[in-house]
Amino acid sequence: MKRYGSIYTLLFLAAMFAITTNTYGQADPRPTLEPSYDISLQIIIGSNEAGKSADLGRDLTNVSRQLRSAFPFSGYRLAGTFMGRISNNGNYEYKSVSNIFGQEAEPKTMVPTFLEWNVTNLRNGQTAKGETGFQAQFLKFGARVPVATSGVKEETGKMVSTVSYESIGLNLSRVGLTENLPTLIGTLNLPGADGTAFLVMTIRAADR
């Protein structure tokens, strides 16, 4: 009897263990979410135009030094900052209208610029130096920039300038960035203007 009693006890304990394991394994069936990140794209304009220089701010101190040591412009200004949110292994796409590269066709009349940029398959990882970093499978920035051309005379004799659009942009494949470090990812010459646009990207862990 003792032998059978021991067998029944072992079977009972095994059944209870299986039930307990299954219960805890199904306690929270929700999938684990990938971490999220704040991604920013900042556009800096370098030119030799008088009065077109401004402090870029503390966050861009290292980038400012890099630009001033490599490009002979007399002034730099932060033309715009674009923010987005993306999860690990995610994609981000942005399209909008802006006056960042706009030119005046007539006094007090600003012609807009059409902007587009996207990041594909952003993944977190570790850089060669052991720091937290990211790699995007593909990064694209494009803009249709207005360029003032020769004017047209109306019947009243008034000269009205015309504007045409030129496309600029860059495509990057497998680009890497270090976390919390503003990184210069490319430059673009501005058509119809004496200046260059510098694209700076920063990725930080999202607070929430």
pLDDT tens-digit series, residues 118-134: 999 999 988 888 888 99
Q: What confidence category does residue 107 fall into, taking pLDDT thresholds of 50, 70 and 90?
A: very low
Say which residues have a Cβ less than 8 Å from residue 168's Cβ, sequence separation at least 6.
Answer: 142, 143, 145, 188, 189, 190, 191, 197
Q: Which of 100-104, 182-186, 187-191 has the lowest mean pLDDT?
A: 100-104
- Report yes or no on 19 lying in a domain: no
**Number of independent structural domains in the chain:** 1
- Report yes or no on 186 lying in a domain: yes
- Report yes or no on 157 lying in a domain: yes
Mean pLDDT along residues 35-42 = 93
- Report yes or no on 13 lying in a domain: no
146-169 burial code (b ≥16 CB/10 A, e <16): bbbeeeeeeeeeeeeeebeeeebe
- Report yes or no on 9 lying in a domain: no
Summarised one tens digit per residue, pLDDT across range 54-91 is: 778 888 999 999 999 999 888 899 988 999 999 999 99
Say which residues have a Cβ less than 8 Å from residue 30's Cβ, sequence separation at least 6.
Answer: none
- Report yes or no on 29 lying in a domain: no
Q: What is the DSSP string of 34-60?
A: PPEEEEEEEEEEEE--TT------GGG
- Report yes or no on 111 lying in a domain: yes
- Report yes or no on 115 lying in a domain: yes
pLDDT at 30: 73
Name the residue range of residue 103's domain. 34-205
173-196 burial code (b ≥16 CB/10 A, e <16): eebebeeebbbbbbebebeebebb
Report yes or no on whether pTM surpasses 0.85: no
